[in-house]
Amino acid sequence: MKEKPVVGLFVTCLVDLFRPSVGFAALKLLEDAGCKVQVPMAQTCCGQPAWNSGDRADTADLACQVIKAFEGFDYVVAPSGSCAGMLKKHYPEVFQQDPSWRERASEFSAKVYELTSFLSDVMNVTRVEADTEADLTYHDSCAGLRELGISAQPRKLLASMPGVSCREMKDCETCCGFGGTFSVKYSEISNSIVSTKTENIRSTGASMLVAGDLGCLLNMAGKLKREGSDIEVRHVAEVLAGMTDNPAIGASGNTKRNS
């Protein structure tokens, strides 16, 4: 029998800070798919806030930290298209002028995957067995969609769940207006963009919004809540892993699902 691939889970700073359950859902999905999963403790953030603020020095320091912590694994998987995009597409750019790290970064980047694409494309998972019941709509987060080509994989996995039905929203590939620090630096513009998005979400009539990036989810959940909507907002990993008993993103601690 072939040995199990060893996967390093890149948890992401937002999952660690806001929603650890997404990390545990990812862990479960990877193990169910036949991987041996490890979580290096020497990880914090991929460095994207520095990279997108033009701070190359801090970006390079953080990228080195991540590469050192993860280069021993067969694969590196993150439950985020944005962070996986940073690790996979941008790390080689970070070290473009640095011959001592350039090759190391490229070798590392080649092993990086976003969670749903890893399950689909590498582990050939076609079915997930969780018994989640959900009438959902799926938002394509920008980095996952455009940097990594993630669109069909999460939809296929969701569609394989007997209790899940998906209604496509209008302009599902349009940005939600999060953009990291953009959402506070240009909060009025961000608000206008997310308002268009939540209108499209609400128009589907779906009772759950699902996406693959916590940043976008916090933004859309925050707006939906402000608008008084009771649409449940969840990370795709939670739904796929059947871990939907905890309160949805932005829902209060004492209202559990289906209660």
Partner 1 sequence: MRSDRFKKNASDALADPQLQEALEGVRHNFVGARARAAENLSSFEDLRDNARDIKDHVLDHLDLYLEHFEKKVTAQGGHVHWAATAADARQAVLDICRKHDAKTATKGKSMISEEIELNDFLEENGIEPIETDLGEYIIQLREEAPSHIIAPAVHISMEQVREDFRKHHSHLPEDRPMSDPRSLLLEARGILRDKFLSADIGITGANFLVAETGTSVIVTNEGNGDLTQTLPRVHVVLASIEKIVPNLEDMSQILRVLARSATGQEMSVYTTLSSGPRRQDDLDGPEEYHVILLDNGRSSMLGTEFQEMLRCIRCGACMNHCPVYHAVGGHAYGWVYPGPMGSVLTPSLTGIEHSSDLPNASTFCGRCEQVCPVRIPLPKLLRHWREKEFEKHLSPSSHRYNLRLWAFLAKRPRLYRLATSIARSGMRLMSFGSGHIKFLPLAGAWIKHREMPVPESGGFFAQYARRGLGS
Amino acid at 239: V
Please report whether residue 190 would count as binding partner 1 according to CB under 8 A: yes
Q: Kindly state the smallest distance separating residue 52's Cβ from partner 1, in Å.
A: 6
Residue choice 5, 28, 32, 56 for contact with partner 1 (CB under 8 A): 56
Q: Which of 31, 36, 58, 107 binds partner 1 (CB under 8 A)?
A: 58
Q: Is 77 in the site for partner 1 (CB under 8 A)?
A: no
* CB-CB neighbours of 130 under 10 Å: 20
Tell the smallest beta-carbon distance from residue 160 to partner 1 (Å): 27
Residues in the chain: 259
Q: Which of 35, 62, 123, 157 binds partner 1 (CB under 8 A)?
A: 62
Which C-beta is closer to partner 1: that of 39 or that of 122? 39
SS3 129: coil
Rounded to an integer, what distance in angstroms lies between the CA atom of residue 49 and that of residue 5? 31
Give the count of beta carbons closer than 10 Å to the beta carbon of residue 1.
3
Question: Which is closer to partner 1, CB of 122 or CB of 251?
Answer: 251
Q: Which two tokens stand for residue 27?
A: 């862990």
225 to each of 218, 220, 222, 229, 249, how far by Cα in Å?
10, 8, 5, 5, 10
Region 193-232 residues binding partner 1, contact defined as CB under 8 A: 193-194, 196, 218-219, 221-223, 225-226
- The answer to the question of residue 53 lying near partner 1 (CB under 8 A) is yes
Q: Which of 18, 151, 165, 199 binds partner 1 (CB under 8 A)?
A: 18
**Residue 15 and residue 23 in contact, taking contact as beta carbons nearer than 8 Å:** yes
Binding mask 25-44 for partner 1 (x = CB under 8 A): -------------xxxxxxx
Nearer Cβ to partner 1, position 165 or 207? 207
Residue carrying the six token digits 């439950």 = 79
Rounded CA separation 104/143 (Å): 23
Residues 96-135 that bind partner 1 (CB under 8 A): none
Q: What is the DSSP letter of 233?
A: E
Distance CA 9, CA 75 (A): 9
Of 236, 222, 53, nearest in space to 139 by CA? 236
* 130-189 binders of partner 1 (CB under 8 A): 142-143, 146-147, 173-175, 177-189
> Of 68 and 167, which has the nearer Cβ to partner 1?
68
The answer to whether residue 5 forms part of the interface with partner 1 (CB under 8 A) is no
Q: For partner 1, which stretch binds (CB under 8 A), given 20-28, 117-125, 127-135, 158-166?
A: 20-28
